[in-house]
Structure 1
Amino acid sequence: MITNKFSGQVAIVTGAGQGIGFEIAKQLSVAGASVLLNDLSKELATQAADAINSMGGNCYPIHGDASNIDFIQQMIDEAVQRYGKLTIAIANAGITLFGDFLNYPAQSLQSVMNLNLQGSFFLAQRAARQIVKQKSGGSILFMSSVTGHQAHQDLAAYGMTKAALEMLAKSLVVELSQHQITVNTVAPGATLTERTLEDAGYQKTWARITPMGRAATVEDVANAVLFLVSPDARHITGQNLVVDGGWTAVSTSPY
């Protein structure tokens, strides 16, 4: 965990009630940042913030739909009202809806596009507006995926959105670098979370086909995120960091 590098920083982390998002929010807060923690579930958001605060962090829960543009602005306003500014925005919220391409329903596609792309795009836009107003610089980070690099069965829609986020990060370099705002992505591979561990064979399967011999932990992914939004990465922008234990180098199918 990176320590003593986020004092005075204010971050929004979406989809952070559990899993990777929670670990990111926890590490940021324990390392000195004030964190607005979002989740669609009020219960998860509250429990997560309470857990982080019990560790000595400074974290405030805000529940709502991270794909909704009005709610995104509400999060920005809440961060500024509560903490005086915003310096870091992490678009972690996303949805994975499996389905074969020939029968993939329009409703599923719209759901994936709304959260993964619209939510990320407008969080970046509204956060950037606030950071530009402050004239202080800052960091925006999108959560991508190895499925944006390698084809994965039944994830055409999801993989498409993740590849798009990496292009968005590159595109924003042109518009936001002059304001000292970095924009990067992290692409996790198989990661052990509450959701993935519901699959009894998940951990064993990915340990077998990952060159490093195990799936990632949430700490592995959060460590990469914290580096890219830290002062150590102020000259890194428009980049993607893959955290997959080498899986994309060999791309062995779990099927």
Structure 2
Amino acid sequence: MSSETQPRAGHARTTRQQRIVDHVLANGSASAAELVDLTGVSLMTVHRDVDELVRRGLVRKYRGGVSAQPTSVFEAHSEYRRAVRRSEKAMIAEAALAMVEPGSSIMVDDSSTALTLVERLHEVGPLTVVTNYLPAIALLKDMPEVRLIALGGDYSRTHDSFGGIGCVEAVAAMSVDATFVSTSSMTGSMTYHQEQEIVMVKRAMLDVAARRVLLMDSGKAPRRALHQLRPLSAFDDLVVDPGVPEDLLLEMREHTRVTLAGVSK
């Protein structure tokens, strides 16, 4: 293969793999046969592409196909999470915004729900905002009344955020008025996440806050995941959308203060 042919082949592979990622993120999952039709290459080439994308943390492979959807063991990719349940997250962000005091310091995690709140923070006024989430950093850096403190550490492509020991230690050195977090699943009394590294960072964020606010859309309950994060009673507030079943809401209210987003008081 000539030196001129090699860059063309590399470009074609990159373009093909991006088409696969875009398709899986848009649809949640895809079969191997579907990806062959999409890309026009052989099944063997599709498998090689998918293996590379799995190694990079962009998709998850299962027997006969590829998925971006979360399971009890694997969290979904950040881009996929940002694309789903947008209306519910918008309602939750509206309710959570009322809990942000001008002049205060807040911390937000690497959840797509907290990112929806970040998109509204320019409406509050002077704030100090601490986060490890790269999409949130990109938004906050252009808000003139926000003092941004970015948390570093090990970068995760799946979560598009920073974590690991460096991040946990950076969080532990802070003290904020409120922390706003979400997680992958919950029952009426417990919260969960699939990955212990993410659990470590979220726990650290909760430990340094005077007020702990949990933001959860109804698609996350009732569900469990591999690792327990914190009991619901460890949170001062829970904000959910109206899709949560009434019996589950009653159980949640036994453990914390619940705000039902989008519902007039």
Q: Name the TM tier (shorter chain).
A: 0.3 to 0.5
Question: When the two structures are superposed, what TM-score results if normalisation uses the length of structure 1?
Answer: 0.41
| Structure with the larger strand share | 2
Question: When the two structures are superposed, what TM-score results if normalisation uses the length of structure 2?
Answer: 0.39
| Structure with the larger helix share | 1
